[in-house]
Structure 1
């Protein structure tokens, strides 16, 4: 990739609309956190008030009509596509037609969280990093990778826990999660009242991803995961009484978005790759990257599954994972549907990524390439019983 095709980082930082969009996204996330507790009163959160002030100032400078209140700004975020806001943004910085808030629930969209994480002063508040670092450090100190794997699988499979489960889980079974009991209580919070069916006094989980569905203003239910919404009709899963097991706790949104969702996909991808003859290790090195995929010729691939709404922000986040355990190549995998729905996704990612960042391929490309590389070797060795020839010439493909 030639350097002139890249988008210089300085230009991104200097673009007037970048700081505004980060501020608005952060303000909307913070406002949603307060609103979910049922405590939306004056004064509003500082982040939300700053976002309103910045938007009004920008509109006045551009001689555009500004939102007259924070409630008006919320309406903008829920109904006005970001690419139509009065803000000067770099090329392809936001997907056309995308919103910061869902229309039917006023909950932050995935894109909104992506922009909040892009803001350096608030990234740690809206990402998974600090929680996963604590879990990795404790498990590493105990030399207990099984505990780390149990923790990751819990976040993937059980985004909802009852209070009783939350208090007894660390000591249950063989006590793998015992060292993480206080962390679990930090990341599984009492479920916001906005998720509650007030008449039935129940919460409803999504049958596909198991996180809670959010009631909409039209009386329906909404899943925060784009993958579930793309499948069409919402599928109602388990129902929880509000008082069941001492109350219902929900995994915090950053971990649902940045750990649970990709983790579901990583487990599924690991199964597909294993079925095609690869040796796959999930979350190696206490989560240094998503999967270590070892091929019969000795090649080791570091793979992370990423499903972002903005290829520009994904490109800006792209960097090689830590070298432990060692690997020969690193790659980020995105759903084929992302590239199908937005043909320019890969090109935008390439424009914003650094030269040392991972390659970007789709899940189908990864499985197809592994099948291509593993198949002939595995078939030959099943028939001959011979050891792998490490001197084989590399086969044609992505790796």
Structure 2
């Protein structure tokens, strides 16, 4: 299953790491319960603990501490992490990165990555317990079709009306099987931050179909970096607040760790199939993202990993389950990550603690697969700049 927690390799500076995890966890927790910055005493336990730890750290470093929780929230939304008075390992955070989006005060992807990295909160903010339950139920009943249908639904329909939530399982000809009751756990009423109060409506992103969040200036913002990289926001389906009994949104952990990489994996699967590869999505009840048999009969276990932090991704570098079997394990990142962070691969390699999996971009994988009928297996070394690989990985 994607993004299972790995045994942590030691960091060179533990105090700053623990502090950043604490603050990131607090920001995620606050986003779950209200609009950050509007809290009254007493603060939620995780938020108070993060504030206390940050104040203590600042006093020890003789730096000016945040005066309150709303002040700490402002730090998270306005102050890049590389300017915080905390000591972190080299390249632990990308330059200029924030824990909260400036326009919405919502946790960034990096914030969720740090929250998941915390051992005491990782299960709460990752997809593990939901996808483990889905995998276990379908395995027990030997029902791979239900697991496939469930994964595709999470990819294609991050937003449902309440009526759709109750009727889709019946309309799916029983494909969801033992997972029907899980639907009400993973789809929850859309939070107020997505609601246009004047129009009494929610608007979906035309590209990824998740809901667009309202900004502090009455604009719209998509949580997915890929959509934001494509210039302007594109409005998609509009849902009235009372449409079909109310609007249901896939919970954030599943949007981030299942729906988003799943969309990328389905797109990559189509591209690989078009050049002659045999692709199975989410084999072995989600053992990994794709099982790819290439034209030279090499079998790859492929997972799409679009992480903001190459250091945190490197710390999770482990091999997936050997069943279904494969020859090589590959983690694929979007080519845009290397454009935005030229040292992404170097940082990933610095923090990984196992030799596998291999890391390459989606473009590198496709390019190498196209070359296979002519060249067969070749070298695996790449330039860190994101330029074309010298030869190819197979």
Normalising by the smaller structure, the TM-score range is over 0.9
Aligned position for 1:112? 111
Q: Please state how far the C-alpha of 1:45 moved relative to its aligned partner.
A: 1.7
Q: Could you report, residue by residue, the CA deviation over 1:31-79 in whole angstroms, capped at 9, with x for unpaired residues? A: 0101169995543221111111111000111111111100000000000
Matched position secondary structure for 1:256: helix
Aligned position for 2:91? 92
TM value normalised by structure 2: 0.92
Q: Please state how far the C-alpha of 1:341 moved relative to its aligned partner.
A: 1.4
Are 2:278 and 1:284 aligned?
Answer: no
Aligned position for 1:258? 257
Q: Could you report, residue by residue, the CA deviation over 1:271-323 in whole angstroms, capped at 9, with x for unpaired residues? A: 00000111111101011100111023321000000100000000011110100
Alignment partners' CA distance in 2, 1:38 and 1:161: 30
Aligned position for 1:60? 59
Alignment partners' CA distance in 1, 2:323 and 2:154: 23
Aligned position for 2:11? 11
Alignment partners' CA distance in 2, 1:168 and 1:40: 38
Alignment partners' CA distance in 2, 1:289 and 1:211: 24
Aligned position for 1:165? 164
- Cα contact 1:38–1:193 (8 A) shared by 2: no
Task: Rate the CA distance shift 1:39–1:174 in 2: closer, same or farther, 3 A.
Answer: farther
Q: Please state how far the C-alpha of 1:9 moved relative to its aligned partner.
A: 2.8
Q: Please state how far the C-alpha of 1:169 moved relative to its aligned partner.
A: 2.0
Runs of 4+ in structure 1 off by over 6 angstroms are none
Matched position secondary structure for 2:188: strand
Q: How does 1:312-351 map to 2 (within 5 A)?
A: 312-351=311-350
Q: How does 1:183-222 map to 2 (within 5 A)?
A: 183-222=182-221
Alignment partners' CA distance in 2, 1:195 and 1:36: 12
Q: Could you report, residue by residue, the CA deviation over 1:96-128 in whole angstroms, capped at 9, with x for unpaired residues? A: 000000001000000000000000111000000
Alignment partners' CA distance in 1, 2:333 and 2:258: 15
- Cα contact 1:267–1:282 (8 A) shared by 2: yes
- Cα contact 2:37–2:73 (8 A) shared by 1: no
Matched position secondary structure for 2:10: helix
Alignment partners' CA distance in 2, 1:59 and 1:74: 16
Q: How does 1:1-399 map to 2 (within 5 A)?
A: 9-12=9-12, 14-35=13-34, 40-373=39-372, 375-376=373-374, 394-395=377-378, 397-399=392-394
TM value normalised by structure 1: 0.91
Structure 1 portions without partners, runs of 5+: 1-7, 378-392
Alignment partners' CA distance in 2, 1:370 and 1:123: 35
Q: Could you report, residue by residue, the CA deviation over 1:233-289 in whole angstroms, capped at 9, with x for unpaired residues? A: 100100000000000000000000000100000000000000011111110101110
Alignment partners' CA distance in 2, 1:68 and 1:36: 19
Structure 2 portions without partners, runs of 5+: 1-7, 380-391
Alignment partners' CA distance in 1, 2:154 and 2:35: 21
Root-mean-square deviation over aligned CA pairs: 1.7
Alignment partners' CA distance in 1, 2:331 and 2:248: 32
